[in-house]
Amino acid sequence: MFDGSPTEISGLVRPGRVHRRVYTDPAIFELEMERIFGRAWIYVGHASQVPAPGDYVTTRIGRQPVILCRHRDGGLHVLFNRCSHRGAKVCVLASGNTKRFECMYHGWSYDTDGRLLGVPVPEGAQAGFDLADSGLRPVPRVASYRGFVFANCAEDGLSFDDYIGPMTPNIDDLVDRAPAGELLFDAGVHRYVFPGNWKLQIENALDSYHVPSSHASTVNEKGEQFARREGDETGAAVVDRNRTSDAWKGRRSFVVGAAGHGWTSNTALDESGRSSPVFYGYKAALAEAVGETRANEILTPRFHNSLLYPSITVMGLNVHVRVIHPLAVDRTEVHVYPLRYKGAPDAMNQRNIRLLNVTHSAASFVQTDDMEAFARTQAGLASLAEEWVDISRGLGDERPGRDRNVTEGSAMHELVMRQQYAAWLSYMCKAG
Ligand code: FES
Ligand code: FE2
């Protein structure tokens, strides 16, 4: 039986391989909820989703329901979405605006900073009952960077600065593309549930090796869908006309710090779309806001896709943010947010959103391929024929990068997965 001891957990990860149980064992999943999602900084939403007092969105930290809301003083609060009376969720909508959260069960009502405002029939309360002690519990630590709000269920541990610090250039890379310097998460969300473990999605996000085969119909010049998408009236072709699977071999992947973060690089931003009038209009707006030189710098492709472990990817190529919500050991929900650049011409924002519809909507060509790969992987891992999953590509070929203390390797290797499992071990092996 799994006992959760550091010895047993560390036995699940070996150089270049990981035990199948990390994807299939419910006891390991339970421990991940406690030791990773209960201790790591978890992305809970973006400030632009709650711009006005009373605005809120509901989400989860691991499986715990939480509310991100803006109080009337302008402050952001992250509250456990659990009534202090008998435990009901007090807010069930995905988003909205409210003066107070009122629990439907017995009617306790809470202010948007979590304070308990009142209870029905107060004279029935136990002697000494104090409203001030019975508010919605706040998530212990909350911090944000350029609108990205994170919360941490642990009172102490890795500081937010240490968590986010190594990845701020990657976030800046995307946010700076907005002429007004802000991203807007106000263009809806694509939601998926797949029958597989949550780690399959975070491993995949920076896995260039799967692209030529999983997404053959999109990226190979002979792929059927590739041909059909040319001539999109927005000028947005998904991939460069000349891009073949060979082109993916030149990409690099990078990992940084001990927290499991990484990114892939060396892929140009949608080159074919860059010669469109829409792009020129956008570039002019950006140059007007930040100057020609800075605009050129911002639009020089650097970071392709970035992962902030354990649950958010910031995707520069087809502009979006993806948030991974574990539901069970073999069930995961993914939210894909299209982004708008504040201050950019509508045509440019529409073009980005349309591009994401092609690549990541439910009727898309790309994300749906990945969902199929995850389902097949989870199904295959039910086999007891082999205990180990191979993540050894490029083992030993990693080398220090030029700056930012990174380690880099070919994006066709599995450096990123090995780094994620190093972080996984460091969270999972700490008891208490
Ligand atoms: Fe919320 Fe009773 S459970 S008021
Ligand atoms: Fe993919």
Question: Each residue of 28-51: pLDDT tens digit?
Answer: 999 999 999 999 999 999 999 999
pLDDT at residue 120 greater than cutoff 50 = yes
- Ligand closest to 103 (CA) is 1
CA of 56 to the centre of ligand 2 (A): 31
What is the whole-number distance in angstroms between the Cα of residue 114 and the centre of ligand 1?
Answer: 14
Residue 430 has pLDDT above 90, yes or no: no
Q: Please compute the mean of the pLDDT values over residues 282-302 and round it to a whole number.
A: 93
CA of 313, nearest ligand number: 2
Mean pLDDT of all residues in the chain?
90
Report whether residue 105 contacts ligand 1, using a CB cutoff of 6 Å. yes
> Which pLDDT value is given to residue 302?
80
Residue nearest to atom 4 of ligand 1 (CA): 106
- 106: pLDDT confidence band, cut at 50, 70 and 90? very high
Ligand 1 atom, smallest distance to 106 CA: 4
Count of CB atoms situated within 10 Å of the CB of 253: 30
**pLDDT of 231 over the 60 cut:** no
The first and second tokens of residue 183, run together, are 């991203």
Residue 237: predicted pLDDT = 43
199 and 325 Cβ atoms separated by less than 8 Å: no
Pocket lining: 89 vs ligand 1, CB cutoff 6 Å: no
Question: What is the total residue count of the chain?
Answer: 432
Percent of the chain scoring above 90 in pLDDT: 75
The predicted model gives 71-81 an average pLDDT of 98
Alpha-carbon distance of 324 to 14, in angstroms, equals: 25
- At residue 11, the 3 state secondary structure works out as coil
Between CA 153 and CA 161, with CA 155 as vertex, the angle to 5 degrees is 90
**C-beta neighbour count of 346 within 10 angstroms:** 10
**How many other β-carbons are positioned within 10 Å of the β-carbon of residue 331?**
16
Structure confidence at residue 166 (pLDDT)? 94
> In the numeric block, which tokens belong to residue 197?
């473990």
Amino acid (one-letter) located at 416: V
Burial group, residue 64, by CB count within 10 angstroms (0-12, 13-18, 19+): middle
pLDDT band at 90 (very low <50, low <70, confident <90, very high): very high
103 Cβ below 6 A of ligand 1: yes
The secondary structure of residue 238, as a DSSP letter, is: S
Is 108 a pocket residue for ligand 1 (Cβ < 6 Å)?
Answer: yes
